[in-house]
Chain A
């Protein structure tokens, strides 16, 4: 594991630099702005810049993960570049913490933007894809983007798609009983809605008198691995299926972080207020394909939500091109440093296979009964 990365940077400073640093630079620049034709739904400049900063960070991280895979330093990549405009607002709007008083996340493997918005360090995602023993999510046991952060109520991501949906109803059930108006958030892809677990969640969340505080979302990128939406769906909108269960539902442009932020904010407030479920179908771009299995190469013809938003901010005078460039550079350096750091860290030992089969590592090996 000694392959060179393309950008050199100080390991120590980049790996530990908080996301806010770049945004701070940009905010300062924005004070010089004058023309703001776009009102951005009334969101503050600070928030807009924060969203942009995190979107860039997430994109740089995902592209770093792809580079790590393509350099042969990881076995597999799967992720969500193209979903930053949806995932970042989702992470920012949630009530972050551990336990039933806080929101739960039942994410799928395209949710790096949400994790970045919650505060995940780049190095922790890189440790995961590089199977390090220091990987906080799985200890080197699972694929890229299979995050697990109990301290933020982030449930373990699973490889089987859509199983997370009824689990979200379970945590929502606990939250409702706890009575602190926390909610459970579940994300998934459009193709996965063919699985029965999706229907299970719609039913469990909407039973009359037993409605659950769960935000059910689908990130519709129009593809299931290689099969287009039209080859898998008869319904016009996936959200229409939620309406059949009397679940409030809407379709949004998930490539627009402002529209997404406002829609998520409204639906999350509705859920907290009523205890009822809500459904959002977000249309997003799948910029690098499904996974390393189909090449993970950029699809240039698709809308790029990060650059689209960045250009909007620049056009509005909220962000300068120079400040934007700086943000990309800072995160690129952080990614490189994180990769270099992860390279130096230990990998799981062979004998560790027996750890955590059961609580307190008891009874794992039948030969020792």
Chain B
């Protein structure tokens, strides 16, 4: 099975071969490195930009305005913050021009904790991103979704932020990407640059097929009856693990992988809450102010009389950063036991 990094690489290859992508660029995106997580290795249109996040976003906006499709990368979301006003402009360009100027561009950036990346390699960006009207925002949790959401992002006529979990880059799923060889060693031999003697190396791409995960559509990763847990990205796997454990105790947890932050799949959330009467929102961005709070607010507003317990948000602590030592990181973002405890508390609550 492909890793998330390999899935993104294959999606970008499909994009430059079939969907008109002409530039994939950013810091260290081109040869020789092919991205710090290897997600852009071997791509024919990948090139290295100066170490300048604002230059990267501005250039991407210009390329999109000029009529070409590009995928730009900010090496870590931790460094995207000095581009906020450019992201704001990219998001408002269609609106400000009354529909005249579209910016079909993709910006991808690794987000979140889980790799012991310390203060400046552990930032989340989902709540910030959700305050950028005009952008669509996706956060895949597995390789197949990573592939399908990237193709959807490339095809979308709006600017799309593609937030990829740093901790999931080596994560392998249990579903094959259409066209991917079943043997992961074979895939590695085809598309991973050799560590040694890589001079002259070129990838042999599998015969990939188009596979789209529609932006705005979530997925139920674990069906259940007693509580709805709405999450995305890395936290999906933690929530699924807790759901499996609690199933043995008769606590039936429904886990929704939102996959898209904006637009988000409210109908899926709503249907599930109407079924379970209880809801927990889980993500690792800081708790003040958190995207889960918006969802909890909406759940309260629209489903108040169907709720059996107070909606709850479990998120990262509101701290200036995430410390390097595992004791610090693990006490900053939700862990398995935090999720389990929160689920038990919500399920135990009686009106």
Q: Is there a chain A Cβ closer than 8 Å to B96's Cβ?
A: yes
Q: Is there a chain A Cβ closer than 8 Å to B157's Cβ?
A: yes
| Bound Cα distance from A242 to B29, whole angstroms | 27
Q: Given A158-B89, A163-B85, A171-B62, is A355 in contact with B99 using a C-beta cutoff of 8 Å?
A: yes
B98 touches which of A104, A141, A184, A201 (Cβ 8 Å): A141
Residue of A nearest to B270 (CB): A369
Asked if residues B100 and A369 are in contact (CB atoms below 8 Å), the reply is no
A148 touches which of B22, B23, B55, B101 (Cβ 8 Å): B101
Q: Is there a chain A Cβ closer than 8 Å to B66's Cβ?
A: yes
Q: Is there a chain B Cβ closer than 8 Å to A203's Cβ?
A: yes
Residues in A with CB closer than 8 Å to B266 are 366, 369
Q: Is there a chain B Cβ closer than 8 Å to A18's Cβ?
A: no
Instruction: Report A's interface with B, CB cutoff 8 A.
Output: 99-100, 104, 106, 135, 137-139, 141-142, 146, 148, 150, 155-156, 158, 160, 163, 165-175, 177, 184, 196-197, 200-201, 203-204, 207, 355-361, 363, 366, 369
Smallest CB separation, B285 vs chain A (Å): 18
| Bound Cα distance from A1 to B61, whole angstroms | 38
Interface residues of B in 50-69 (CB under 8 A from A): 50, 52, 54-55, 57-68
Smallest CB separation, A211 vs chain B (Å): 14
Asked if residues B98 and A138 are in contact (CB atoms below 8 Å), the reply is yes
Smallest CB separation, A218 vs chain B (Å): 17
Instruction: Report B's interface with A, CB cutoff 8 A.
Output: 22-23, 49-50, 52, 54-55, 57-68, 85-86, 89, 93-102, 133-134, 136, 157-158, 216, 262-267, 298
Asked if residues B96 and A142 are in contact (CB atoms below 8 Å), the reply is yes
Smallest CB separation, B63 vs chain A (Å): 4
Asked if residues A150 and B54 are in contact (CB atoms below 8 Å), the reply is no
Q: Given A166-B62, A170-B60, is A357 in contact with B263 using a C-beta cutoff of 8 Å?
A: no
Q: Given A160-B89, A177-B68, A207-B50, is A363 in contact with B58 using a C-beta cutoff of 8 Å?
A: no
Asked if residues B98 and A100 are in contact (CB atoms below 8 Å), the reply is no
Considering residues B52, B62, B101, B134, which has the most beta carbons from chain A within 10 angstroms of its beta carbon? B62
| Bound Cα distance from A150 to B66, whole angstroms | 10
Asked if residues A356 and B22 are in contact (CB atoms below 8 Å), the reply is no
Residues in A with CB closer than 8 Å to B65 are 104, 155, 167, 170-171
9 nearest CB pairs, A to B: A170-B62, A166-B58, A139-B98, A174-B66, A200-B55, A356-B99, A167-B62, A171-B66, A359-B157
Smallest CB separation, B128 vs chain A (Å): 17
Residues in B with CB closer than 8 Å to A137 are 97-98
Residue of A nearest to B85 (CB): A160
A–B pairs, 27, beta carbons within 8 Å: A106-B62, A138-B97, A139-B98, A148-B97, A150-B100, A150-B101, A163-B89, A166-B58, A170-B60, A170-B64, A173-B59, A173-B63, A174-B63, A174-B66, A174-B67, A174-B68, A197-B54, A200-B55, A200-B58, A203-B52, A357-B133, A359-B94, A359-B102, A363-B216, A363-B262, A369-B216, A369-B266
| Bound Cα distance from A163 to B134, whole angstroms | 18
| Bound Cα distance from A97 to B85, whole angstroms | 29
Smallest CB separation, B136 vs chain A (Å): 8
| Bound Cα distance from A358 to B133, whole angstroms | 9
A363 touches which of B49, B100, B263 (Cβ 8 Å): B263
| Bound Cα distance from A158 to B67, whole angstroms | 19
Residue of A nearest to B50 (CB): A203
| Bound Cα distance from A135 to B60, whole angstroms | 27
Residues in B with CB closer than 8 Å to A146 are 96
Asked if residues A141 and B67 are in contact (CB atoms below 8 Å), the reply is no
Residues in A with CB closer than 8 Å to B66 are 100, 104, 170-171, 173-175
| Bound Cα distance from A166 to B83, whole angstroms | 12
Smallest CB separation, B311 vs chain A (Å): 17
Asked if residues A357 and B89 are in contact (CB atoms below 8 Å), the reply is no
Besides the known contacts A167-B62, A170-B59, A369-B264, 13 further A-B residue pairs in the complex with CB atoms under 8 A apart: A106-B62, A138-B97, A156-B97, A163-B58, A168-B62, A173-B66, A207-B50, A355-B98, A357-B94, A361-B99, A363-B262, A363-B263, A369-B265
Smallest CB separation, A242 vs chain B (Å): 16
Residues in A with CB closer than 8 Å to B264 are 366, 369
Q: Given A173-B66, A357-B133, A363-B263, is A163 in contact with B95 using a C-beta cutoff of 8 Å?
A: no
| Bound Cα distance from A142 to B85, whole angstroms | 17
B54 touches which of A174, A184, A200 (Cβ 8 Å): A200
| Bound Cα distance from A100 to B22, whole angstroms | 14
Q: Given A165-B58, A177-B22, A196-B54, is A170 in contact with B98 using a C-beta cutoff of 8 Å?
A: no
| Bound Cα distance from A167 to B60, whole angstroms | 7
Asked if residues A100 and B67 are in contact (CB atoms below 8 Å), the reply is yes
Asked if residues B62 and A356 are in contact (CB atoms below 8 Å), the reply is no
Asked if residues B101 and A166 are in contact (CB atoms below 8 Å), the reply is no
Asked if residues B96 and A141 are in contact (CB atoms below 8 Å), the reply is yes
| Bound Cα distance from A155 to B63, whole angstroms | 12
Residues in B with CB closer than 8 Å to A201 are 55, 58
Residues in A with CB closer than 8 Å to B263 are 363, 366, 369
Asked if residues B85 and A167 are in contact (CB atoms below 8 Å), the reply is no
| Bound Cα distance from A357 to B94, whole angstroms | 7
Residues in B with CB closer than 8 Å to A135 are 98
| Bound Cα distance from A366 to B61, whole angstroms | 25
Asked if residues B67 and A99 are in contact (CB atoms below 8 Å), the reply is yes
| Bound Cα distance from A172 to B22, whole angstroms | 14
Smallest CB separation, A137 vs chain B (Å): 7
Residues in A with CB closer than 8 Å to B61 are 166-167, 170
| Bound Cα distance from A106 to B55, whole angstroms | 15
Residues in A with CB closer than 8 Å to B262 are 363, 366
| Bound Cα distance from A235 to B52, whole angstroms | 23
| Bound Cα distance from A174 to B61, whole angstroms | 11
